[in-house]
Amino acid sequence: MGEYHHSVDDKGRLTIPSKLRYELGENFVVTRGLDGCLFVYPKKEWQDIILKYRELPNTRDARKFMRFFLSGATECDFDKQGRINIPTPLSTYASISKECVIIGVNDRLEIWAKERWNAFMEENEESFSDIADNLFASNINL
């Protein structure tokens, strides 16, 4: 969990905060995420996702989504300074060029272009309370 603001250097490298590096482990997977961001999964979580995908029916929607999600997947590790190199197709997809936001979301990290993250927060700010009511009803006291 958490929100971290960082910059991508001229070589496409992004420093991941040390707390998050520890949680990701040595090897992890970066892929296209939803809503225009990148998803970053620890290797164990990624393997669980692949097992679930194998159970999906061979429908048009399943094939389309797996192509979108899996074709961009890249196994990564950290350099000695705790940076990752974001491949060009992924940085292009997420419009990540300089300033970005790294957020912790349950079983993964998300990497957002700063402008997209700010737009997402602004567009949804007024609806977060209603969303929480709909999702959690009376099960969780927020």
The ranges assigned to domains in the chain are: 2-114
pLDDT tens sequence across 33-72: 999 999 999 999 999 999 998 898 889 998 999 899 899 8
Task: List the beta bridge partners of residue 7.
Answer: 99
> How many Cα atoms sit within 13 Å of 142 on the Cβ side?
11
Q: In terms of pTM, does the model score above 0.75?
A: yes
CA distance between the termini of the chain: 16
Nearest to 65 by CA among 97, 104, 39: 39
pLDDT at 37: 96
pLDDT at 142: 47
Amino acid of residue 31: T
Q: How many residues does the chain have?
A: 142
pLDDT tens sequence across 84-106: 999 999 999 999 999 999 999 98
List C-alpha distances in Å: 100 to 9, 51, 94, 114, 131: 11, 31, 10, 4, 25
Nearest to 109 by CA among 50, 22, 48, 51: 22
Percent of the chain scored above 90 by pLDDT?
61
Q: Fold for domain 2-114?
A: Chemotaxis protein chec (3.40.1550)
Three-state DSSP state, 110:
strand
Mean pLDDT of all residues in the chain?
88
pLDDT at 120: 87
Nearest to 8 by CA among 77, 90, 94, 100: 100
Does position 140 have pLDDT exceeding 60, yes or no? Answer: no
pLDDT at 100: 95
